[in-house]
C-alpha cells in the first residue's frame, strides 16, 4: 500500500502547554489507524492540525504527495480529507439531504448542485439514512445525527476520513451498528484515522494504533503490541480494558 498521509514532526503550543510535540505518523491507502491516549494527550489537536483548523508551529503535513501544511479547512477538504466531529453540529434547519448536499458541494470533486444532490442521496443511503432524507436534521435522534455527520463527511468524496469519537454517546446496539458502518466505509476504499475511547472498538477496527501522551508519541504498533506495551499500560494507569480489548483481535 502507498502512503496517503504523512505527518512529519509537527508541534503546537497553546501558551505554556505543549499540545503536540514533534509527532510523526503515516496513514496508508485503505488503512484504519487508531489514535488513542489519555484525556488531554493532544489527539483532537492533531486532527485540528491535519485539517487546517490550526497551523503547526513546526513540521510538515503531506497528503497524496501534496504539502498541505497550514492550508485552511476548506482547501484541505478540496484535497480529499473530511472530518466527522465528536460533537455533531448539523444544520438543524435543513433536511438530511440538504446537509449532505452541502458536504458534496464543498468536497473534493467540486460538484455542481444537481450532481452534489445525487452523491448526497447515495451517501445517506450507505449510512442508513436513505428513508429520512426529507426530515429536518434537528428532529433526528443522537444516533441518527451521528450518522448524518458521517454521511455529510462522506458526501465530500474524501480519500481520508478523520473520525473523532463517532461512538461517543451511543448505546451498545448503536455502537455495534456504527462499527459496522466504519468497516463498510473502509471497504469502499477510504482510509480512516480515528480517535476513540472505546478500547474494544478501536482494537477491533484498527490496522495500527498510535498512542499519544502529553502531546508526544508514546507507542505505535498493532493493537496487540500496543495493548501489551508496559508504557501504554502505565499511561492508562494499568487499565485492564486494554488487554481485554486486545483479546478481540487475537
Q: Are residues 204 and 234 in the same domain?
A: yes
Alpha-carbon separation of residue 124 from 50, 96, 99, 115, 250 (angstroms): 25, 8, 10, 14, 34
CA Rg, the chain, in Å? 18
Q: Are residues 195 and 151 in the same domain?
A: no
What is the C-alpha to C-alpha distance for residues 108 and 79, in angstroms, rounded to an integer?
6
Domain span at residue 246?
1-77+159-250
Q: What is the CATH number of the domain that holds 203?
A: 3.40.50.300
So what's the pLDDT on residue 110? 82
So what's the pLDDT on residue 246? 55
Q: Are residues 185 and 239 in the same domain?
A: yes
Q: Are residues 164 and 249 in the same domain?
A: yes
> Of the candidates 135, 158, 181, which is a domain's last residue?
158
Q: Going along 64-198, which residue ranges are E strands?
A: 66-67, 81-84, 160-164, 191-195
Q: Are residues 166 and 68 in the same domain?
A: yes
So what's the pLDDT on residue 39? 84
So what's the pLDDT on residue 236? 76
**Residues whose CB is less than 8 angstroms from the CB of residue 50 and which lie 6 or more positions away in sequence, other chains included:** 5, 7, 61, 76, 81, 162, 193
Q: Are residues 168 and 200 in the same domain?
A: yes
Q: Are residues 136 and 63 in the same domain?
A: no
So what's the pLDDT on residue 40? 85
Number of domains in the chain: 2
Question: pTM for this one?
Answer: 0.91
CA atoms within 13 A on the CB side of 32: 22
So what's the pLDDT on residue 249? 52
Q: Are residues 132 and 71 in the same domain?
A: no
- pLDDT values of the chain reduced to their tens digit, one per residue, 250 residues: 799 999 999 999 999 899 999 999 999 999 999 999 988 899 999 999 999 999 999 999 999 999 999 999 999 999 999 999 888 888 989 999 999 999 999 999 888 899 999 999 999 999 999 999 999 999 999 999 999 999 999 999 999 999 999 998 889 999 999 999 999 999 999 999 999 989 899 999 999 999 999 999 999 999 999 988 998 888 876 655 655 665 555 4
Q: Are residues 171 and 246 in the same domain?
A: yes
Q: Are residues 1 and 69 in the same domain?
A: yes
> Of the candidates 106, 132, 158, which is a domain's last residue?
158
> Of the candidates 158, 180, 203, which is a domain's last residue?
158
So what's the pLDDT on residue 111? 87
Q: Are residues 193 and 97 in the same domain?
A: no
Site of grid cell 504539502: 67
Amino acid at each position: 500500500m502507498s502512503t496517503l498521509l504523512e505527518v512529519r514532526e509537527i508541534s503546537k503550543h497553546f501558551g505554556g502547554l505543549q499540545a503536540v510535540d514533534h509527532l510523526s505518523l503515516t496513514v496508508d491507502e485503505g488503512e484504519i489507524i487508531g489514535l488513542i491516549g489519555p484525556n488531554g494527550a493532544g489527539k483532537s489537536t492533531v486532527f485540528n492540525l491535519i485539517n487546517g483548523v490550526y497551523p503547526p508551529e513546526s513540521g510538515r503535513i503531506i497528503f497524496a504527495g501534496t504539502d498541505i501544511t497550514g492550508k485552511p479547512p476548506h482547501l484541505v477538504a478540496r484535497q480529499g480529507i473530511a472530518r466527522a466531529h465528536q460533537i455533531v453540529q448539523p444544520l438543524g434547519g435543513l433536511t438530511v439531504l440538504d446537509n449532505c448536499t452541502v458536504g458534496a458541494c464543498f468536497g473534493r470533486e467540486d460538484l455542481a448542485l444537481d450532481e452534489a444532490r445525487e452523491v448526497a442521496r447515495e451517501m445517506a443511503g450507505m449510512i442508513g439514512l436513505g428513508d429520512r432524507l426529507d426530515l429536518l436534521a434537528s428532529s433526528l435522534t443522537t444516533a441518527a445525527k451521528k450518522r448524518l455527520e458521517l454521511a455529510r463527511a462522506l458526501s465530500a468524496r474524501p480519500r481520508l476520513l478523520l473520525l473523532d469519537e463517532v461512538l461517543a454517546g451511543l448505546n451498545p446496539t448503536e455502537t455495534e451498528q456504527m462499527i459496522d458502518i466504519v468497516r463498510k466505509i473502509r471497504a469502499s476504499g477510504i482510509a480512516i484515522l480515528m480517535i476513540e475511547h472505546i478500547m474494544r472498538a478501536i482494537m477491533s477496527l484498527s490496522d495500527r494504533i498510535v498512542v499519544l501522551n502529553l502531546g508526544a508519541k508514546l507507542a505505535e504498533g498493532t493493537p496487540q503490541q500496543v495493548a501489551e506495551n508496559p508504557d501504554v499500560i502505565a499511561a492508562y494507569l494499568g487499565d485492564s480494558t486494554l488487554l481485554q480489548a486486545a483479546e478481540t483481535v487475537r
